[in-house]
Chains A and B, each alone.
Chain A
Amino acid sequence: MSPTITTSSEANGNVSAATACAAAKAAVEAEKTGPQTITLAKALNTALADAMHADPSVLVFGEDVGMLGGVFRITDGLTKTFGTSRCFDTPLAESGIVGMAVGMAMNGMRPVIEMQFDAFAYPAFEQIVSHVAKMHNRTKGAVKLPMVIRVPYAGGIGGVEHHCDSSEAYYAHTAGLKVFTPATVADGYRMLREAIDSDDPVMFMEPKKLYWSKDQVDLDALRGEHAENTERGTSSEGRAAVARPGTDATLIAYGPSVPTALAAAAAAAEEGRSLEVIDVRSIVPFDDETVCASVRKTGRAVVIAEAHGFASVSSEIVARVQERCFHHLAAPIRRVTGFDVPYPAPKLEHYYLPGVDRILDAVDDLQWED
């Protein structure tokens, strides 16, 4: 289970070179207050550090998360700051990591654990499905499992096989798990804090191709927002966001597909078509209200996801929207998803991934002539 991604990324000249550089830069930037440009990786790292500062029961563990700071550096500096009792490496065994976290959550801790890569989480599947998801229900609410399982997921990074799976449907299908996936830098901070605060287990799906995407955010303002939400008992949990307003059709996307949808909307605008982009944010619970309000307004929709289309989150979204918005639809809802093939080798992945052109083709098919 070594992070072979490093090698392949070097060949592609992106992730690993960017890793050291971005981590060093981000560390300097984090000292600043006020609006600043940081990466999603840094936002997640800051959320972890802030949560650990706020609550001594928050623990971070997994493979290589200690001195190395994680293969994606999301846990960078946590061992140094909080010690090996609060952020530590475990033996290489995913079921062990999840199962131990279950016991720790049963006994007063709030573990935030890392599955190094999407496909490496599969050995933990039994623990996740049979225990993490069900403990609260089996015990009629007597045992809560406030734990977060962080999963770097999806492709677009030139990774070799078993490093690029979109595994969200497995978890979304399992009753008892919340499934979050941030697409913006600010949401990286916001949603990870909310996931750690949740008394229910959260599968936190991190789009790894967006780790090094940057945005200007004000961390202090995000901290203030979190404190205010905590005090008021409010949050953005379970809410979708309108990532770009529009009037002609709705693009529904989540995680790694949100920037692609936004790029498609920008291209469509040049052709005079106004597309609204919805960032789902929380797959479970799903925000029917926001998604359906948009589709009722525009009357047309395309769902975009990297995962295979068959029996997927995208098929669930289509079914839900169709059930709720049928009389508002001017055309059948289209989907742009990964093909129903195992995730391809790096040289082939661009054929597989939903891209701007494929999205625009789908938009063109939404029966505009009527």
Chain B
Amino acid sequence: MATFMGVARGIGYFIILVLLAGVIGCAFGIVWARQESRRLFTEYNELSKERDHLNYEFGRLELERATKAEINGIEKTARESLGMISPVAANTVVIKR
């Protein structure tokens, strides 16, 4: 009977130890998770800021492209620097299938 009690007590102690370890582990886990969530949140914020920044940059570049690709400048370059001309009617042949 005493041995049985001893075994039971041992099991009890073991369960308590396991639970204690679990509680401590859990506590550390919460701390870690919280820290990690904050780190990730900061990272997320920084990345979204970067994304917005890139979007604005894209808009700016698009604007710049639109300005550079202005048909006036292209036509001027084509006609004056490259000596290109639009074909006159006499030089036009239409191919129909």
A binds B: no
| Interfacial residues, chain A to chain B (CB-CB below 8 A) | none
